Chains A and B, each alone.
Chain A
Amino acid sequence: GIQVEQSPPDLILQEGANSTLRCNFSDSVNNLQWFHQNPWGQLINLFYIPSGTKQNGRLSATTVATERYSLLYISSSQTTDSGVYFCAVERSYNTDKLIFGTGTRLQVFP
């Protein structure tokens, strides 16, 4: 099956810092999403981004499908950004299996 690797596994930042999270995948995909799992366990949709670039406030994401990676940028981080960030992908030939990466745990301190 498709492999999804995220880096770094852990990230500790001070409030106001910027960061880049990476998601590598081993096969072509037609669906790629970024999620934030907050400290209460809730999964929050951030981006649906199988290709291209999107921005939403302090967050932006870029997927380069031909090179099989996606990046999530967090600027001016806040303590509320803490939690685990997951990317999830589905292979191009419509397997309907949404497979998650192992996540990046982010801690933002004041």
Chain B
Amino acid sequence: NAGVTQTPKFQVLKTGQSMTLQCAQDMNHNSMYWYRQDPGMGLRLIYYSASEGTTDKGEVPNGYNVSRLNKREFSLRLESAAPSQTSVYFCASGTGYTEAFFGQGTRLTVV
């Protein structure tokens, strides 16, 4: 029972490089989320998707794009990475009216 799976777990990028963080859930949830967590701080919502085919901005969307590929998968793309995007990224899924479950996180460093 995998739950929410994120890849990769760790990544180092150079400024200006692009990358995609992958997230997949096997709980048949409609809603999926991407958060970032900076050192010593809480989680801030980047983007969310209430259902397949829909995405909406969260609190800190600038510099990111997302794709809800199907019901299971929700990817986060950094087109041109900046040092300010160094953070731990969490993906989550839920139904909107019940518990949300989180992946293990991706630790991203931009140098």
Q: Using CB atoms and an 8 Å cutoff, list the residues of chain A in contact with chain B.
A: 1, 30-31, 33, 35, 41-43, 45, 48, 86, 88, 90, 94, 96-103
Are A100 and B43 closer than 8 Å at their CB atoms?
yes
Are A98 and B92 closer than 8 Å at their CB atoms?
yes
Q: CB of B69 within 8 A of chain A?
A: no
Known: A31-B96, A43-B90, A48-B98. A102 touches B59 (CB 8 A): no
**What's the dominant secondary structure at chain A's contact region?**
strand
Q: Using CB atoms and an 8 Å cutoff, list the residues of chain B in contact with chain A.
A: 31, 33, 35, 41-45, 48, 50, 56, 58-59, 88, 90, 92, 94, 96-102, 104-105
Partner of A96, one of B59, B96, B105: B96
Are B99 and A41 closer than 8 Å at their CB atoms?
no
How many angstroms from the CA of A97 to the CA of B45 in the assembled complex? 8
Known: A43-B102, A97-B58. A86 touches B43 (CB 8 A): yes
Known: A41-B88, A41-B104, A42-B105. 4 other contacts (CB 8 A): A31-B96, A31-B97, A31-B98, A99-B45
